[in-house]
Amino acid sequence: MSVMAPNDAHATLRVALGEYDTGWHQPQGSVNRAEVVIKRAASTGARLVVLPEMCATGFTMEPEAWAEQLDGPSFARLSELAQKHDVWLIAGLAMRDTAGFHNIAVVFDDHGELQATYAKQRLFTYSGEHEHYVAGTAPLVVNIDGVRVSPFICYDVRFPELFRAAAPWADLLVVIANWPAPRRAHWDALLPARAIENLAYVAGVNRTGAGDGIAYDGGSAGYDPWGEPAAQRVAVASPSVVDVSAERVATIRAKYPFLEDMRQPVPAYGAGTPSFGDGHTSAARSAVGF
C-alpha cells in the first residue's frame, strides 16, 4: 500500500488540548465552561481546539434523555463558538437520528460549519455502551489547514487496527475520551504506541472531574511521529498545545517507510476505507457509517 503524500507538505497546525471538567448531565454548564477553554486556546494561536468525548453530558448511558439531533442546542452552541473564536473544533457529543443513538466526534470549521462527523467504532461493552449506541463502521480524515486529521474516540485507542486503517492518509490522529483515573496508566501507554506504530502525531484529550461516580484525572497529551512528547504550555491558564508539522510526518515516513510494509492495510475484522470530510452534508453524514 502506498502512502498518500500530504495535501500540503509544508503545512503546520497548532492544536489545543481542551481538557476540562465536563460535569455530569449539565449540557449548558459544560458548554459554558468549554467556551472558556476555547477562548484561551484561541489566544495561544491554536487553529484546532479539541474537547473531550461527550463533552456536553459526560459518558452517559441515557441517550434517550440526553442525545441531541445534529441541530440540537449543544451542536448549535459549539458551532457558534468555533465561528466566534475563529478556530476549528473537534468535540464529542451524544447524537440521535432515525437509526438510533451515536457517540460521535463533530468537526466544525472556523466559520462554524459542520464539516464531518465520526462515530465511535468500538463501543465499550464493559459499561454497556453497545446496548445504547450504534457503532460506526469507518475512520474519517479531514483536511485542516493542509494537515490531515483523523479523529477517534476513547475505547477505539485499544484497537490499533482502527488507526492503521487511517494512518496512510493522516498526519495527526486525535483521541477524545472519558478515560477513568484507575486506568490512567493504560492511556499513558496507548497514546505514544499509536504514534510510534503509525509514524503520526497523536493528540489525546481527556476530561477531568467526576461523572456518575467515576473519577477522571485528565492526562491529555501529545506525541510526535517518533513517539516523543510534543505538548507544551505556552501561556498561563491556557490549554497545552501541540504544533503539528506535515513535513515532519512526511520526512520520517520517507526515511523509515514502515507503513509501506503493511501486507493487509485493513484487517478483515477492522475498519473500512476512510471517509474524507469535505464540507458537504453527504460527507458529514457518511462519515458516521449509517
Give me 127's grid cell. Answer: 459499561
Q: Sort 240 into a burial class: Cβ within 10 Å, 0-12 / 13-18 / 19+.
A: buried
Rounded Cα distance between 230 and 219, Å, is 13
Per the annotation, the verdict on 55 as an active-site residue is no
**From the candidates 19, 55, 68, 120, which is the catalytic residue?**
120
Closest by CA to 107, choosing from 98, 94, 116, is 116
Q: How many residues does the chain have?
A: 290
Q: Which candidate in 19, 53, 68, 129 is catalytic?
A: 53
| Active site (annotated) includes residue 53 | yes
183-192: list long-range contacts, CB under 8 Å, 24+ apart.
184/217, 184/219, 186/158, 187/157, 187/219, 188/219, 188/221, 190/157, 190/158, 191/157, 191/221, 191/223, 192/223, 192/227
- Give the single-character DSSP code of 267: -
DSSP E strand stretches across the chain: 12-17, 48-50, 88-97, 100-108, 114-119, 140-144, 147-153, 172-176, 201-205, 208-211, 214-217, 221-223, 231-232, 241-245, 275-277
Bridge partners, 141 (sequence order): 276
Active site residue 255: no
Q: Closest Cα to residue 16, out of 221, 207, 156? A: 221
Amino acid at position 185, single letter: A
Residue 49, SS3?
strand
Q: Could you list the active site residues? A: 53, 120, 154
